[in-house]
Chain A
Amino acid sequence: MTTRTEKSEDSMSTVTPTRAPHSDVPTGHHPSEGRVGAGLFDPGQLVDSLPEAFRKLDPRVMVKSPVMFVVWVGSVLTTAFSFKDPGDWFGWTISAWLWLTVVFANLAEAVAEGRGKAQADTLRKAKTDTVARRLVNDREERVPGTELRIGDLVVCEAGDVIPGDGDVVEGVASVDESAITGESAPVIRESGGDRSAVTGGTKVLSDRIVIKITTKPGETFIDRMISLVEGAARQKTPNEIALNILLASLTIVFLLACATLPPFATYAGTHLTMVVLVALLVCLIPTTIGALLSAIGIAGMDRLVQRNVLAMSGRAVEAAGDVSTLLLDKTGTITLGNRQASEFVPVRGTTEAQVADAAQLSSLADETPEGRSIVVLAKERYGLRERHQGELAGAEWIAFTAQTRMSGVDVDGRRIRKGAAGSVIAWVKEQGGDVAEDAQALTDRISEAGGTPLLVALEDADGARVLGVIHLKDVVKQGMRERFEELRRMGIKTVMITGDNPLTAQAIAEEAGVDDFLAEATPEDKMALIKREQAGGKLVAMTGDGTNDAPALAQADVGVAMNTGTSAAKEAGNMVDLDSNPTKLIEIVEIGKQLLITRGALTTFSIANDVAKYFAIIPALFAAVYPGLDKLNIMRLSSPDSAILSAVVFNALIIIALVPLSLRGVRYRPMSADKMLRRNLGIYGLGGLVAPFIGIKIIDLLISLIPGL
């Protein structure tokens, strides 16, 4: 892992982002909404998606969903039979509702897809045809972006749109990536290291960089994003396939039950019309889940997209729900990405107050969080009022840069510097000063304790010298302990990964409440840990951004690459977090679980519904020949026709009623499997048994009010 003590892009995020950033502190505890879920459902979307729903009536499209295809065939049949007997209002009404059932199913899918399409349109705008400045033998030539090949070198300067995905091989620049991340604050991209990847369609704001193209046109990140959010690349996920098999087999079972009924009925002395048989079939087969299944899948992906996470496959989203081990990097995930000043330690011959004063002055020009924390500590602990740069007349401020790794001020003949130990010592020696003997011991002590030492030095009339050391320390994010506790209840083990020594790592692990930690972790250690967990049958999720993370990201079942990371990392992972917020891994797991729960809940609901429908339809069909069967008409439905129609209408309306749920996902709260099962069985199992009895009865009452029936 790379350390992030250098000037990080956070220092630039003083601009207020147009889109709410995902704060470092795990949030989501909004009282009004579940942590995952959200995504408001607007009934207007139903109307907007109607044309698409009708377009999907094409049998070649319908056949992809076996359950709804059966309904489609049934609708065709009943319509055909109604044409044979045009005076039969019952046949026409049933046909109409069967068609509506199919349209409602298509509508659910169309609405789900529609949300992705809007996102895709925004992305397309970013993907305008660009002109690339290709370097050939150090000479620039202008070619269309579509003609770039892997390995080409292109130059981008302030104002240029980067023509394709690639790595910066020369220079540093600030880049506006809002086209893909929605985050308006620019980010730094520089050659070498882990922040070299640039994405086509983003815009260079300052400086000049040379980029080596790493993907073919048409296969760039933005192209993949578009096809992902549009659902064009959507493939059925393993659980979805398995569920489809179950639904298909239930459909076949009920098809058999209905197809074999006519001879039985004939023997009993009654004749079943095709319309009635199809109505019975459609009521029995699991249309509710069959209609909503693909919408649930699309909406699940969409929920990730809303959180600025791109899953390269639905399979990865499902795997996220199965994860049993989370590998979390300490820095940025468990602790605040930036260390904070915790104490000022003077060298022999100076006082703490002197160090604090010098540290504060030299940090005023340092806008990094570390720098800010020094000012804050000086104020809180030593009562030093924060001075503003303008207050000190004639002061010359030296801002922190990644190159110098120091900040400071020259004022009243004093030159104060603060920064990384190496840089400050070099500066002191350059000025001909001495480094106090105990400075080295102090920095070593802080390092050993897991902290980061910064040196404060002063050059005045007495010459240059080191005044003291600032102790920068990791601070565990608020709420992490509770979060890990929740994960434990969900059966997920958390492992903290850190480059720290075991002692420090243990201290932070205990403070944060993780289950385990991996100290002094090398990429090889990480890989070995993943393999060990997987050998035990566990599914592992991790985040990473560096090139050396790539093998582990590829090995992990869920590998979330940070968008700020290298292209190797993004290529290896199966998800990319555009916000580069490693804490989001936890949300990803929850979204994965919610996706599966929604499918299971609606399947249960759909199957449980059948009981009531039988009690509506069977007496309606046969009470005329076997009057005893009227005892099964426990809903006391008004007439056989009304009973069958009510069941069909209920069956259709329940689809529309559940569209918002399938798009939003069922409410999810972290809890043990036992509790979750009890809760969901209660709501969707028992609810599924009871709801149709009530619904069918109400519809029947309404139908019986229609005059002339």
Chain B
Amino acid sequence: MGPVLAGVLQLLALIGALALAYIPLGTYMARVYSSDRHLRIEKWIYRGIGADPDTQMRWPAYLRSVLAFSVAGVLFLYLLQRLQGVLPGSLGFSSVDPAQSFNTAVSFVTNTNWQSYYGEQTMGHVVQTAGLAVQNFVSAAVGMAVAVALVRGFARSRTGELGNFWADLVRGTLRVLVPIAAVAAVVLVACGAIQNFSGIHEVGQFLGGSQQWNGGAVASQEAIKELGTNGGGYFNANSAHPFENPTPFTNLLEIFLILVIPFSLTRTFGVLVGSVKQGYAILATMGVIWLGFTALMMGTEFAHHGPALQIAGGALEGKEVRFGVGGSSIFAVATTLTSTGAVDSFHSSFTGLGGGVTMLGMMLGEIAPGGVGSGLYGILILAVIAVFIAGLMVGRTPEYLGKKIGAREMKLAAAYILITPALVLVFTAASMALPTPPHSMLNPGAHGFSEVLYAFTSAANNNGSAFAGLNANTDWFNTMTGLAMLFGRFLPMVFVLALAGSLAGQKPIPVTAGTLRTEKPLFTGLLVGAILIITGLTYFPALALGPLAEGLA
């Protein structure tokens, strides 16, 4: 079997698995977020944190809860790292320095999981398990909660109420993430991923010399790392490391875990707004972009010219032989079109255009299918903008799901789409203009520029993957990517929740023959076009000077 065919078959298997999970998982999540019963363990948690899960929150209250919870998370994670040296279970690692602690704390709370450290040389068991792994669950649950709040904004009328953040957070964690992650962890262990609390092993190498191998609760971390679109690896090599991702099957499983919740959430959305077809339209939009990017990536990586690459059957530099070009390409697209940022191969080593594809995937705002929760709310915001333009073209005040898109809604949606381009471009420009930051680049020319552009694209979009090569563990990059992650996560949430509140307060408009049908393929086409043009074109000049300059050379 040729490598191309292998890649295509993997892709088909993946699509089949996602399709099987779509309806049951999506419907289940809809039930989770609309049920009015609490599990006993949930009641204990609510009592423990002093929250009433049955009070309805308006958007400011919902936002305050999101922010309070996240600030507490950042502080806790920061202190945990700063105090690592005096805590038990640290594997002898010292406390992490302030800039890196800040960066890492922000990174995990914002679901970015950008890592400016080497996991196996910096973080002990306590930080990994009690700090990072916990955030892997709850930061994902926060994203889902905000997405569900926005969906409720569409589904509810004449009320400003968006649900209860604490209930959404706890349920998302306990009823969705924990069970799936648990099953996935067991499968990963069965396939060879490690799961222990052993220390550091000194191992001899074949060619002499020695190597350190860490033990750790890797499989459990790995499962939620992918499922929660987190991406922070236990080891520096991330999912390329055989302890994290031992076989081609686990590779496919991890890609499945990355994509399954974001795709299925469109079903949840459809069920909650009372029209699964609306969910299918969003799914189709995500699917078209995702498949297009995957095809493009496989194309650039398989078809790369140059004798060495032709003999190897594609651009294999930086890719694991056990995954091949196909598995690596699918993974790279999945991880950058979601807010995951886990890698099983090194994006820096992809062909110039392939590297561009990973960057463009993030630049679209990670909406195909995007991070858990953040993908759904991101694409719904873009749908609002597409509906506005298209709605005018059918001669009515634009409306989406029975809600008018007026000046206030437009203001919030426009603010949302402004944030990430502003962060990416301004931080990158500052890094290029200042004298010191460019020293972090490993490569000269267009590739070096790509490293910096990638870093801020990844941070501002809460992806977390890196274009290897850049030394990001400097005060400048730790601080600036930290800020980009913070603003890139929470400013959009402010506008999403405000928009949700505004929508929930409206009275619904009935559907007539004069209504723009947003569940039709035509709208899907329009939405894909709007996404590519509006978000893609913003970055065209920057992309031209990085991956395009390199790839077209």
Cα distance, A321 to B397, chains bound together (Å): 8
Instruction: Pick the interface stretch among A363-371, A484-492, A498-506.
Output: A484-492
B429 interface neighbour in A248, A260, A493, A621, Cβ under 8 Å = A260
Residues of A within 8 A of B410 (CB): 242-243, 245-246
Tell me the residues in window 304-323 of chain A with beta carbons closer than 8 Å to chain B beta carbons: 318, 321-322
Is B175 an interface residue, CB under 8 A from the partner? no
Most buried by B among A242, A265, A611, A627: A242
Q: Which residues of B, 374-393, contact A by the 8 Å Cβ criterion? A: 385, 388-393
Query: Contact between B395 and A676 (Cβ–Cβ < 8 Å)?
Result: yes
B287 at the A interface (CB under 8 A): no
Q: How far is the CA of A674 from the CA of B407 in the complex (A)?
A: 24
User: What separation, in Å, do the CA atoms of A538 and B511 have in the docked complex?
Assistant: 10
C-alpha spacing A425/B107, complex, angstroms: 95
Task: Report yes or no: B538 in contact with A626, Cβ–Cβ below 8 A.
Answer: no
A351 within 8 A of B: no
B509 on the A face (CB < 8 A): yes
Q: B513 to chain A: which residues have CB within 8 Å?
A: 488-491, 672-673
Give the shortest distance, in Å, between A262 (CB) and chain B (any CB).
8
Does A674 contact B522, Cβ atoms closer than 8 Å? Answer: yes
**Is there an interface contact between A618 and B541, defined as CB atoms closer than 8 Å?**
yes
**A287 CB to closest chain B CB, in angstroms?**
15
> Is A622 within 8 A of B544, CB to CB?
yes
The stretch that binds A, out of B80-88, B165-173, B264-272, B416-424, is B416-424
Interface residues in A619-649 (C-beta closer than 8 Å to B):
621-622, 625-629, 631-632
Q: Identify B392's interface contact among A239, A489, A618, CB under 8 A.
A: A239
How far is the CB of B420 from the nearest CB of chain A, in Å? 10
Residue from the set B390, B398, B409, B520 with the largest chain A CB neighbour count within 10 Å: B390
Which residues of chain A have C-beta atoms less than 8 A from B389's C-beta?
A: 246, 600, 603-604, 607
- Interface residue? B469 (CB, 8 A): no
The answer to whether B414 has its CB under 8 Å from any CB of chain A is: yes
A-B contact count (CB 8 A): 216
Interface majority SS (helix, strand, loop, mixed), chain B: helix
Q: Which of A241, A256, A621 contacts B426 (CB 8 A)?
A: A256
> Given A238, A264, A600, which contacts B390 in the complex, CB threshold below 8 Å?
A600
Q: Is the CB of A677 within 8 A of B406?
A: no
Chain A residues whose C-beta falls within 8 Å of the C-beta of B414 in the assembled complex = 245-246, 248-249
A599 touches B426 (CB 8 A): no
| Beta-carbon contact of B392 and A249 below 8 Å | no
B 433-459 contacts with A by CB, 8 A: 433, 438, 446, 449
Question: A701 contacts the other chain (Cβ, under 8 Å)?
Answer: no
A-side contacts of B468, CB under 8 Å: none
Decide yes or no whether A601 CB sits under 8 A from chain B. Answer: yes
B515 near A242: Cβ-Cβ < 8 Å: no
Q: Is the CB of B542 within 8 A of A264?
A: yes
Contact of A611 (CB < 8 Å), options: B417, B533, B545: B533
Asked if A596 is an interface residue, CB under 8 A from chain B, the answer is yes
When distances are taken between beta carbons in the complex, the residues of chain B under 8 Å from A621 are 541
B514 within 8 A of A: yes
Cα distance, A541 to B151, chains bound together (Å): 32
**The residue from A322, A489, A594 contacting B397, defined by CB atoms under 8 A apart:** A322
CB distance from A280 to the nearest CB of B (A): 8
Q: Which residues of A contact B392 (CB under 8 A)?
A: 239, 243, 596-597, 599-601, 603
Is B446 in contact with A268, judged by CB distance below 8 angstroms? Answer: yes
Asked if A614 is an interface residue, CB under 8 A from chain B, the answer is yes
Collect the chain B residues with CB atoms within 8 Å of residue A353's CB.
Answer: none
CB 8 Å contact bits of B520-553 with A (1 = contact, 0 = none): 1011001001000110011111101100111111
Q: Is A331 an interface residue (CB 8 A)?
A: no
Q: Which residues of B sit under 8 angstroms from A246, Cβ to Cβ?
A: 385, 388-389, 410, 414
- Report if A608 contacts B (CB, 8 A): yes
B512 in the interface (beta carbon within 8 A): yes
Residues of chain A contacted by B295 (CB below 8 angstroms): none
Least CB separation from A609: chain B residue: B533
Residues on the A chain within 8 Å of B405, using CB: 242
C-alpha gap A603/B386 in the complex (Å)? 11
Answer yes or no: B425 CB below 8 A from chain A CBs.
yes
Min CB–CB distance A322 → chain B (angstroms)? 5
Interface centre among A245, A490, A668, A680 (most CB of B within 10 A): A245
Q: Is A100 positioned at the interface, with any CB of B under 8 Å from its CB?
A: no
Pairwise interchain contact A261-B541, C-beta atoms closer than 8 A: yes
**Complex contact B510–A681 (CB within 8 A):** no
Interface centre among A252, A264, A608 (most CB of B within 10 A): A264
Beyond A600-B389, A610-B537, whether A264 also contacts B545 by CB under 8 A is yes
* Chain B interface, number of residues (Cβ within 8 angstroms): 66
Output the least CB separation between A619 and chain B (Å): 8
A677 and B533 contact, CB distance less than 8 A: no
Q: Does A253 contact B (CB under 8 A)?
A: yes
Instruction: Write out the residue numbers on chain A whose beta carbons fall within 8 Å of the beta carbon of B544.
Output: 618, 622, 626, 629, 632
Instruction: Establish whether residues A626 and B533, one from each chain, have CB atoms under 8 Å apart when the complex forms.
Output: no
Identity of the chain B residue whose Cβ is nearest the Cβ of A280 in the assembled complex: B541
A218 in contact (CB, < 8 A): no
B514 touches A673 (CB 8 A): yes
A657-B425 Cα distance, complex, nearest whole Å: 34
Provide the A318-356 mask, 1 if CB < 8 A to any CB of B, else 0: 100110100000000000000000000000000000000
Least CB separation from A601: chain B residue: B393
Contacting residues of chain A (123-159) with chain B, CB-CB under 8 angstroms: none
B425 lies within 8 A of A257 (CB) = yes
Interface flag for A44 (CB, 8 Å): no
Interface centre among A246, A257, A266, A490 (most CB of B within 10 A): A246
Most chain B C-beta atoms within 10 Å of own C-beta, residue among A262, A267, A268: A267
Q: In the complex, what distance in Å separates the CA atom of A625 from the CA atom of B545? A: 9
A537 to B417, CA, bound (A): 29
Considering only CB atoms, which chain B residue lies closest to A236 in the complex? B407
Cβ A250 vs Cβ B534 within 8 A:
yes
Give the CA-CA distance A676 to B421 in the complex, in Å.
Answer: 33
**A263: which B residues are within 8 A, CB to CB?**
429-430, 432-433
Most buried by B among A248, A596, A668, A673: A673
Q: Does B512 lie within 8 Å of A238, measured CB to CB?
A: no
Is the CB–CB distance between A678 and B522 below 8 Å? yes
A264: B residues at CB distance < 8 A: 428-429, 432, 449, 541-542, 545
A544 sits at the interface (CB 8 A): no
Assess the A238–B407 pair: CB atoms within 8 A: yes
Chain B residues in 8 Å Cβ range of A239: 392, 397-398, 406
1/0 per position for A254-282, CB-CB distance to B under 8 A? 10111111111111100000000000100
In the complex, what distance in Å separates the CA atom of A538 from the CA atom of B393? 20
Within 8 Å of chain B (Cβ to Cβ): is A536? yes
Chain B residues whose CB sits within 8 angstroms of the CB of A256 once the complex forms = 421-422, 425-426, 538
- Which B residues are in CB contact (< 8 Å) with A259? 429
CA of A280 to CA of B541, assembled, Å: 10
CB distance from A247 to the nearest CB of B (A): 9
CB-CB under 8 A from B388, the residues of chain A are: 242-243, 246
CB distance from A276 to the nearest CB of B (A): 12
Docked CA distance A397–B389 (Å): 66
For A536-567 the 0/1 string (1 means CB < 8 A from B) is: 11100000000000000000000000000000
Contact in complex: B538, A681 (CB < 8 Å):
no
Known: A246-B389, A257-B538. 16 other contacts (CB 8 A): A238-B397, A242-B410, A256-B538, A257-B421, A257-B539, A280-B541, A321-B396, A626-B548, A626-B553, A672-B514, A676-B393, A677-B522, A677-B523, A681-B522, A684-B393, A685-B526
Can you give 15 A-B contacts (C-beta < 8 A)? A249-B414, A249-B417, A257-B421, A260-B425, A266-B432, A267-B438, A321-B395, A322-B396, A324-B510, A603-B389, A604-B393, A607-B533, A622-B544, A627-B553, A632-B544
A interface residues, Cβ below 8 angstroms from B: 238-239, 241-243, 245-246, 248-250, 252-254, 256-268, 280, 284, 318, 321-322, 324, 488-493, 536-538, 592-594, 596-597, 599-601, 603-604, 607-608, 610-611, 614, 618, 621-622, 625-629, 631-632, 668, 672-674, 676-678, 680-681, 684-685
Q: Which 7 A-B pairs have the closest CB atoms?
A: A600-B392, A491-B514, A593-B395, A491-B512, A628-B552, A249-B414, A491-B513
